[in-house]
Amino acid sequence: MAEHSHAADADHDHDHGPPQGWRRWVYCTNHKDIGTMYLIFACTAFFIGGAMAMVIRLELFQPGMQFVDPQLFNSMTTMHALIMIFGAVMPAWTGLANWMIPMQIGAPDMALPRLNNLSFWILPFAFTLLLSSLFVPGGAPAGGWTMYPPLMLQTGASFPMLIFSVHLMGASSILGAINVIVTIMNLRAPGIGLLRMPLFVWTWLITAYLLIAVMPVLAGAVTMLLTDHFFGTTFFTAAGGGDPVMFQHIFWFFGHPEVYILILPAFGVVSEIIPTFARKPLFGYEAMVYATASIAFLSFIVWAHHMFTVGMPLAAQLFFMLSTMLIAIPTGVKVFNWTATLYKGSISFEPPMLFALAFLFLFTIGGFSGLMLAIVPADYQYQDTYFVVAHFHYVLVPGSIFAIMGAVYYWLPKWTGKMYDLKLATWHFWLSTIFVNVLFFPQHFLGLAGMPRRVPDYAVQFTDWNMVSSIGGFGFGLAQFLFPYIIWKCVKSGQLIKEPKAWEGAHGLEWELPSPAPYHSWTTPPSDAIIARGAEH
């Protein structure tokens, strides 16, 4: 049997190119092709979720009901969140992990290629199901992405579609996470110890552990929601002895680590980009690793800060307030280390660096407003206002999404062997950065003035800042069309780069491979000399 499998392996050992036509994508087991499919999927979801955001901003441009009815408005906020989180940001990170992890650890591919194919191909079905809920009687889910009962239990025909699609997306994420962990633990080239791995690999390893810990909890929670709806259980129904607040506890036990699932890989990307363009090694590599692990650990013991106002003992409020504030310490370590890396660096401002620097400033603003929200008495004022909306959008848009765009601009020349239009990408950066602030900064003012979130109409005193915010939203939305155009133009007619390194300050094993990267990354493990050169952090 063993001999047989060796013979079968030998058949696949030669370096073959991709199969042609649709088979290349449907039967695909190559980490780069799967990474590409993930990224295209994420980009598509980004524009669909973005279109929903445009509907929201259009309706909120002025008070009164203009374009959509309240039911559809609530569906838009719910679906926008679900699509952006599960369809855009998470698949984008998985795509980047697929592309970069094998290249960065000296492996030929992911450890479980068929599982990789499965975890991608679950996604289009999950999303078709979720999106088609827009067209069933009663409309798409409208109770918010947090799915709180009892409101969520009133959803019409789209309810089981939502639950099943969340299950599928969760399964896809768990399978992807298993693959990432197994790849990193087993396929590192000899000589690449854990503390010689690039930060992007480290942050993804920790993210993958978060995923396998919390996705099953989400699956359990939505299963109970399903049985409450269809099978007469009363887990969350007070009339039958259940507890609706229990759902909030369970949801946020998943939901808070989920926030870090969306942001930790961004920390990894920024830790790759800043040293390259500051032309200095990353300041405090090991501190960065331990800070990431600390943030991941703390993410499990802060969940109730999302629900201070439901009524909980003072001791619990104090515990969750203080544990939340503790997160500022490892996050501060990161921000100061990035700043120290920049100090006295020979800095240049190519598009990936611009996105990384904007991340550094704007993510920190989101972090500070998070600290404000962590303070219990203050949170009683901020709860469910636009201040919260401003906070998490600062963390997720100029945080996660800017880091994803920075990562694409950083590694695109390696993927394609071509340089993109730097001038156009710089335009993309400046338009995005200006409009993202016009879009989200006024929402702090609206929230502090008392405007509630998830409402299609508002009192007239909120009009001015809502108009400004909507103008920012339209500008940001339009500017994003530059992104796929720049990538398409690069693939079609980008200037060929001859060197393996697209950026002179770049370090890492991926930059030791030729450009474009070969179909199988490291069929021969990198030599000690290459590892020593590539592993300078």
Partner 1 sequence: MEQGASAMSEQPPRGAQGEPGQARPTAPDRRRIRNTTVLVSLIALAFYVGFIIMMLMRAIR
Catalytic residues: 80, 109, 145, 172-173, 256, 258, 260, 271, 305-306, 331, 334, 453
Considering only the stretches 192-200, 335-343, 355-363, 407-415, report the one whose residues sit in contact with partner 1 under the rule CB under 8 A: 192-200
**Do residues 506 and 275 touch, judged by C-beta distance below 8 A?**
no
> Which member of 91, 102, 108, 534 binds partner 1 (CB under 8 A)?
108
Task: Give strand pairing partners of 452.
Answer: 385
Q: Tell the smallest beta-carbon distance from residue 12 to partner 1 (Å).
A: 9
Can you read off the two tokens belonging to residue 247? Answer: 């759902």
Please tell me whether residue 32 adopts helix, strand or coil conformation.
Answer: helix
249/489 with CB nearer partner 1: 249
Burial of 185 (0-12, 13-18, 19+ CB in 10 A): exposed
- Can residue 189 be called a binding residue for partner 1 (CB under 8 A)? yes
- Can residue 111 be called a binding residue for partner 1 (CB under 8 A)? yes
- Can residue 174 be called a binding residue for partner 1 (CB under 8 A)? yes
- Can residue 5 be called a binding residue for partner 1 (CB under 8 A)? yes
215/396 with CB nearer partner 1: 215
- Can residue 194 be called a binding residue for partner 1 (CB under 8 A)? yes
- Can residue 518 be called a binding residue for partner 1 (CB under 8 A)? no
94 membership: H or E segment, kind and range: helix 90-105
Binding mask 272-291 for partner 1 (x = CB under 8 A): -------------xx-----
Report the alpha-carbon distance of residue 282 to residue 176 in Å, rounded: 28
Q: Tell the smallest beta-carbon distance from residue 52 to partner 1 (Å).
A: 31
Binding mask 424-443 for partner 1 (x = CB under 8 A): --------------------
Q: Closest by alpha carbon to 363, among 301, 314, 433, 421?
A: 433
> Which member of 181, 262, 274, 389 binds partner 1 (CB under 8 A)?
181
167/306 with CB nearer partner 1: 167
DSSP conformation class of 397: I
CA distances for 90 relative to 3, 290, 330, 532, angstroms: 40, 23, 23, 32
- Can residue 524 be called a binding residue for partner 1 (CB under 8 A)? yes
Question: What count of Cα atoms within 13 Å lies in the side-chain half-sphere of residue 119?
Answer: 27
Q: Tell the smallest beta-carbon distance from residue 296 to partner 1 (Å).
A: 14
DSSP conformation class of 56: H
* Torsion sign over Cα 378, 381, 383, 385: negative
- Can residue 13 be called a binding residue for partner 1 (CB under 8 A)? yes
Q: Tell the smallest beta-carbon distance from residue 435 to partner 1 (Å).
A: 40
- Can residue 238 be called a binding residue for partner 1 (CB under 8 A)? no
Can you read off the two tokens belonging to residue 381? Answer: 């004022």
DSSP string, 214-280: HHHHHHHHHHHHHHHHHS---SS-GGGT--HHHHHHHHHHHHHHHHHHHHHHHHHHHHHHHHHHHTS
- Can residue 6 be called a binding residue for partner 1 (CB under 8 A)? yes
Residues contributing to the site for partner 1 (CB under 8 A): 5-6, 9-10, 13, 107-108, 111-112, 174, 177-178, 181-182, 185-196, 212-217, 219-220, 223-224, 233, 235, 242, 246, 250, 285-286, 523-528, 531
